[in-house]
Structure 1
């Protein structure tokens, strides 16, 4: 039995059980909202997100030159696995930007539009782990890298938490610093090897993976 089927059965049991529903509804402030979510909202939201994904995918594929489509890949198990994995991620995110990027990954996989031997699953796994704040910080770093104020050592453009004060005054240095540490875990940035400093003054630089993700975000 699939994961979705199990969830469907559990939700049906919940809907039919008046004792459970009464107990949940008794929770102050949020009980009623949770009851509505469990009985109808989950399926509705999942369907809405999946439909947005399909519409975006359709529009993207229509814009591709038919001669560039890899039909053998379209019929492969690899494509099937990627579609299932992507579909599961689509219904789990509220971020329309992510849904668009998931569609872009599917479209790019059909025309083998990946660099450095990357595959759709590689990009998918990285984007899946990005939070809304991570995405905002990636855009902020991208803006800084293109500015005239960007600090450089040899060929590397480096930055620290305080580098973005003029670009985003509503974000604290502490918030940005913690975000930079998260992006290290994603493999998108690294501590700059030429710099040794106390933790609050650490300097960072982007990895090649940052450029790949940035390119997908811009499509």
Structure 2
């Protein structure tokens, strides 16, 4: 008989932090390169992702300042379909270092918010 442990959201976050701490300890135990691997895996990547997300948000903010409110389909913005596209775009933004691609992802999102483009294609790479 299997039993499942049910954890609160706070407990799950604490568990993830413990896992991260354990991984950091393991990496730091590697002679010569441990600290560098820790920086790459945990510290540097997080800063890099944050910078990419900040750049995307800034580009989106600049562009949206020129869009009229009536151009936006607010009902669609609340849909699961838009949520899926938004999440996919954010993931792609985090994984690309190309400003050109980040700008393209911004335009895909904007066109989708305006609801002027519909596609069944969900891979926004």
TM-score normalised according to structure 2 size: 0.74
How many angstroms does 1:59 deviate by? Answer: 1.5
Residue 27 of structure 2 corresponds to residue 20 of structure 1: yes
Instruction: Please tell me the root mean square deviation across aligned C-alpha atoms, in Å.
Output: 2.5
**Greater strand proportion:** 1
Written as runs of structure 1 = structure 2, the 5 A alignment for 1:2-17 is 10-15=19-24, 17=25
Structure-2 change in CA distance of 1:91 and 1:67 (3 Å): same
Compare CA radii of gyration and give the structure with the larger one.
1
How many angstroms does 1:56 deviate by? Answer: 1.2
Return structure 1 stretches of 4+ with deviation > 6 angstroms: none
Greater RCO (CA < 8 Å, at least 6 residues apart) = 2
**Greater helix proportion:** 2
How many angstroms does 1:39 deviate by? Answer: 3.3
SS where residue 29 of structure 2 aligns?
Answer: helix
CA distance in 2, matches of 1:82, 1:8: 28
Q: Deviations over 1:40-99 (max 9, x none)?
A: 111111111111111111122221122111111111111111111111111111111111
Written as runs of structure 1 = structure 2, the 5 A alignment for 1:1-219 is 10-15=19-24, 17=25, 19-23=26-30, 25-27=31-33, 32-114=35-117, 118-119=118-119, 122=121, 125=123, 128=125
In structure 2, the gaps of 5 or more residues are 1-8
In structure 1, the gaps of 5 or more residues are 129-219
TM-score normalised according to structure 1 size: 0.45
